[in-house]
Structure 1
């Protein structure tokens, strides 16, 4: 058994009933000062001047001015002269003792570790006449690089002791990137396409205004107004055309009336999260849109409230199959993906039953 700890000949348990406040009240001011210098209380609520042993007895000269204090410290640092060097610097002259690394011991392999392999006269003759580059390529093909130790691995990475073109650089060569021609600009005439949509041209089933700059709001108004009566357009692509909340609301009004659009793409525009919600809500009125894309808008983050509202609207849509929209929260992504998969399965079963009939 271990003996209990004692303090001044008494057990520590006997001090539990001692009134510390009463003992401190019996001490004089000098004794309290000496006690404060010996004790550093671990209490974050005490000011620093009461926690440390240093007690400055000077009266304060005024309130703290941090800017002037930093300027004074910088001034003192600049005015304080540097310590003179014992030996001045001279170019090309080494001051002090130069450190020389000790010579590395030569690695000698024991005879027991040496393995002799009989490859045959044909293979030995081929390896004897092979160049170093060919041997390295052969080792890479056979996968011998995985048998390297740590020193050999780092030496191969740094091409240490290898001429230029050998080592790891000699085994694998990077292929030159292929140069692809730039995409031609979109030569679609907005005025002509708006006129064809207004006339309900049956040959116009795909309208692509992607990346067309400086499209006026009047042309958007005419296009979206014509969509309300058009019965042949199936694909509408308005990527990077400067759509805002006002024109997006006009598109939402047109989607509520149109019944032939299958794909609507309004990515990379300036639509706010509320405008995206209005577009998704408009898809409930039509029964034809199967794919809707509206990612990369003015606000990269929709927010939890907007994402939950979009999720609720998507779950009420029985025809939507693909949604191109970045959802940050995993709950919204899972619910949307599950509902879209159910829509795809239901349509697949309907088509299968129609084919069997």
Structure 2
């Protein structure tokens, strides 16, 4: 019977620090080593070690130790004055080499030699045709410069050529760069005439439900009293012919806008409302948009450029929810900051437009059928 013995050898990685083996220090007692140190040696050791412990106060982590006794509470003003005084009284460190005017201290910088790159000439043959070649061969230098500026080749100039072109060096006044980039005089147009609409007369027409008054435009009329606005809004509740109401830049406030919202809830003929460039707050704009749901007859509503340029996320989301409930609104004039509100409103307005197209097609088909039935009845009677 043969027996075999297996020997297992374990090799450990030797730990070293600065070339010394650290395994001989494994059995040493740290407390015993620290007890052999003097207080001065412990202080030196403490300055070399920074305990990475956030729970320790900064006074124990910092190696700086102040031997002075505290003189009192912190006075920032006196501390800054003391620091400035010490800075003024402390003499500057002497320079290793004193400054002498005209003498360069240290190594003087010498720019490298300019290495001229060899220009590679490459000939490109371009057939422009006889007409263009004749025109270019007979063109003057001024005409070629003007042509280069028109075609955008002036960006290929170097810096010297660019500034020479700006100053028109060697060129007559009015030609070259100056002649191409010279701004044209703005064309003056006459100012728009003031709005000649008479508020009192139009208010009376709305009260009388005048069938000829379909579009009421009070845009840019100043100094309209609140009483006239209230008379107009009260008359609109009984109007059956007015379809467009424009009140842009009339100084309308929140109080008047709330009365307009109450009027819109009781009017079934208005199709377009414009209250741009007034002093309506975002909350009242929400109230106006909400009033459009009462009759669902308004197709266009505009209220941009108000007292507050930014509506805010909450207001925009409320307006978006109200617009999505309105099946008749086709155009909305409001500045929306957030993409979500803009995309949702745009998608809903597009659906309303598509629905109107389908309804018109259905009506057209219905009337065609009626006409066909009438024709058949007439032929049967004959």
TM-score w.r.t. length of structure 1: 0.74
Out of 200-209 and 121-130, give the one that drifted further: 121-130
Is 1:163 aligned to residue 173 of structure 2? no
Residue 234 (structure 1) aligns with: 243
Q: Distance in 1 between the 2:261 and 2:36 partners?
A: 84
Is 1:251 aligned to residue 260 of structure 2? yes
Find the partner of 2:228 among 202, 215, 219. Answer: 219
**Secondary structure in structure 1 of the residue aligned to 2:265:** helix
Q: Distance in 2 between the 1:352 and 1:270 partners?
A: 42
Find the partner of 1:328 among 308, 312, 337. Answer: 337
Out of 70-79 and 53-62, give the one that drifted further: 70-79
Is 1:203 aligned to residue 226 of structure 2? no
**Secondary structure in structure 2 of the residue aligned to 1:306:** helix
**Secondary structure in structure 1 of the residue aligned to 2:231:** helix
CA contact (8 A) 1:159 1:168 kept: no
Out of 276-285 and 294-303, give the one that drifted further: 294-303
Q: Distance in 2 between the 1:23 and 1:298 partners?
A: 79
**Secondary structure in structure 2 of the residue aligned to 1:323:** strand
**1:289/1:74 Cα in 2 relative to 1: closer, same or farther (>3 Å)?**
farther
CA contact (8 A) 2:215 2:243 kept: yes
The Cα shift of 1:205 comes to: 1.8
Residue 371 (structure 2) aligns with: none
Out of 257-266 and 43-52, give the one that drifted further: 43-52
Q: Distance in 1 between the 2:110 and 2:178 partners?
A: 30
Residue 74 (structure 2) aligns with: 64
1:39-54 maps to which residues of 2 (within 5 A)?
Answer: 39-40=49-50, 53-54=63-64
Q: Distance in 2 between the 1:190 and 1:72 partners?
A: 76
Find the partner of 1:285 among 291, 294, 306. Answer: 294
Residue 7 (structure 2) aligns with: none
**1:121/1:210 Cα in 2 relative to 1: closer, same or farther (>3 Å)?**
closer
- For structure 2, which runs of at least 5 residues remain unmatched after alignment? 1-12, 368-382
TM-score w.r.t. length of structure 2: 0.70
**Secondary structure in structure 1 of the residue aligned to 2:273:** strand
Deviations 1:195-246 (A, max 9, x none): 2222222222222222333332222211111111111211111222222222
Max radius of gyration: which structure? 2
Number of aligned pairs? 340
Residue 360 (structure 2) aligns with: 351
Q: CA RMSD in A?
A: 4.6
**Secondary structure in structure 2 of the residue aligned to 1:254:** helix
